[in-house]
Structure 1
């Protein structure tokens, strides 16, 4: 007898490249509304997972003061793009803490490389990220 397979809570959404800052702002607004509807205020580690077409994943969480990126090892190749898009310095680890005013530039830079996005909850962003956001 086979055990039932749990369906994933959130499913990947195919990405449509964003061409203007206004497109990015609309995408941000739509994702914020979706997270408010689908994720409980008691949940932590929520954000958006970007699956990159060339390979790898980046998980992003936003707060009032910062954008937190968890660049998974298979996506380390994206670091020069993050630096170019935001002017940030590369961190020593895989957790990037960027000023919140760099969000639009970051997403514009990533847009042509994204295959899909998935909402996430319970992601471990690391101690430094949690200290910045809470």
Structure 2
């Protein structure tokens, strides 16, 4: 049985990387166990680790679910100076999504459920856990 997960992103400069991810996530890390490493618990049991090191080429994207993709995209573009961040959708897919990169080439993204019922059901089930 799996009960938690972590995803690690590497950045060459931890000070810059931590600041960038604090801006993206709108908060300070939840845990900094040692120099060169910071963690955010995004939802219960799901941790994003930012570690100092060489970024992995071609990995990702790690997509984060949001309630309002337009609003979050605007904030990311404005506050983090992300230039390429197109939103996509397909008739047969229940979410809208977009992909962008951090300054070190790590691929990230956002997604939002198209149906308000799906969005409410999913957020309620995640927040109950």
TM-score, normalization by structure 1: 0.30
Q: Whose helix fraction is larger, Structure 1's or Structure 2's?
A: 1
TM superposition score normalised by structure 2: 0.30
Bigger relative contact order, structure 1 or 2, given CA contacts below 8 A and separation 6+? 1
